[in-house]
Amino acid sequence: MQFTTVGLGTWNIEKSPKAAVAALKAGIEAGANHIDTAEMYGDGEAERLVAEAIKGVRNKVHVVSKVLPSNADYDATIAACERSLERLQTDYLDIYLLHWRNKRTPLAETFRAFEQLKKDGKIRNWGVSNFDVNDLKEALALVGEGKIVCNQVLYHVEERTVEADVLPFCRMHDITVFAYSPLGQGTLPKHKDLSAIARAHKASEAQAALAFLIHNPGVIAIPKSVDKQRAVENIEAAKLRLSEDDLHKIDAAFPLRAKRNLPTA
Ligand code: NDP
């Protein structure tokens, strides 16, 4: 089962638990086949809510969770995964990620734990998050090609830094990029520079923002919403096909070079 190009995020969903479960279920019904969560979110509460949302449909939905860097040594990774499985009421994770890198724990140790979890059937695959190209090179030097299935990174139309290096690097090494905060944490759905494009497609600004990201091969977006209608709207963005002209307009309105991390000369 492949991942749909838009999935469901869960950071902060524990603040509106009932609505969140309904929104996740609506998103799955609308066609999403994966949910992104983490032991960190609501101190495990988000994973418990995901368990409710996937009850009865586990075989149709991929579940991705993450280990905190403070739990990233060998034993703690195994134990953290087991706690996540219990909260999620499932026997396995589809992908387990290192949430971000903590230089104190050698990557080799976390990756050894991931491989053991995979051997034991507790995870199907593993990946990383918030890795830059140097981190990825180091990781690949340790485990070789084909083991790291994804890198989850900050990516939205106003924050396109990854397009300069991480995205092409990941494509070259067959690592899927999961775009987190793809709606700029809620700022993009109202953005005037997306309005005309969205209107021309009878779509919303949020859908235009998501469609821009996923038109890149090997990119998957994971917007979060605790609102049923907005969750469905986000999932339906997968059907929106932006024209070359639309893509150029978004590219011009949100230029890559304007971002603070990139040199302007
Ligand atoms: P998003 O960019 O997904 O934005 C979420 C915000 O947008 C919420 O306020 C939501 O409000 C609002 N929203 C969602 N859909 C719409 C819509 N169609 N129209 C208008 N407003 C909308 O931010 P997140 O930071 O939550 O990122 C998404 C997911 O990525 C997280 O939930 C998490 O799973 C993952 N993530 C991973 C990180 C990592 O380090 N690996 C870091 C950050 C996020 P409402 O809920 O009320 O609809």
DSSP string over 102-138: -TTS-HHHHHHHHHHHHHTTSEEEEEEES--HHHHHH
If 0-12 CB within 10 Å is exposed, 13-18 middle and 19+ buried, where does residue 192 land?
exposed
Other CB atoms within 10 Å distance of the CB of residue 29: 13
φ/ψ of residue 91, rounded to 5: -90, -15
| Ligand 1 pocket, residue 233 CB under 6 Å | yes
Integer Cα distance of 109 and 119 in angstroms: 15
- pLDDT value at position 256? 83
Integer Cα distance of 117 and 123 in angstroms: 6
Count how many Cα atoms sit within 13 Å of the Cα of residue 144 in the half-sphere of its side chain: 2
φ/ψ of residue 131, rounded to 5: -95, 130
- pLDDT value at position 263? 43
| Ligand 1 pocket, residue 11 CB under 6 Å | yes
How many A from CA of 156 to the centre of ligand 1?
11
Atom of ligand 1 nearest to the CA of 100: 40
- pLDDT value at position 189? 87
Name the residues annotated as catalytic.
41
Other CB atoms within 10 Å distance of the CB of residue 129: 21
Integer Cα distance of 38 and 201 in angstroms: 34
Instruction: Specify the DSSP element, H or E, that contains 54.
Output: helix 45-54
10-residue mean pLDDT profile of the chain (265 residues): values are 95 98 98 98 98 98 98 98 98 98 95 98 98 98 98 97 97 98 93 94 97 97 98 98 97 76 44
Pocket test for ligand 1, best of 13, 220, 225, 228 (most atoms within 8 A of CB): 225
In this structure, the residue with its CA closest to atom 42 of ligand 1 is 180
Other CB atoms within 10 Å distance of the CB of residue 96: 27
- Say whether 206 sits in a helix, a strand or coil: helix
In this structure, the residue with its CA closest to atom 8 of ligand 1 is 186
Atom of ligand 1 nearest to the CA of 36: 34
- pLDDT value at position 257? 64
| Ligand 1 pocket, residue 26 CB under 6 Å | no
CA 69 to chain centre: 17
| Ligand 1 pocket, residue 222 CB under 6 Å | yes
User: pTM, whole model, 2 decimals?
Assistant: 0.96
Tell me the sheet residues that pair with 179. 153, 221
| Ligand 1 pocket, residue 225 CB under 6 Å | yes
| Ligand 1 pocket, residue 224 CB under 6 Å | yes
Length of the chain measured in residues: 265
The residue behind tokens 């491989």 is 115
How many A from CA of 172 to the centre of ligand 1?
28
Atom of ligand 1 nearest to the CA of 231: 15
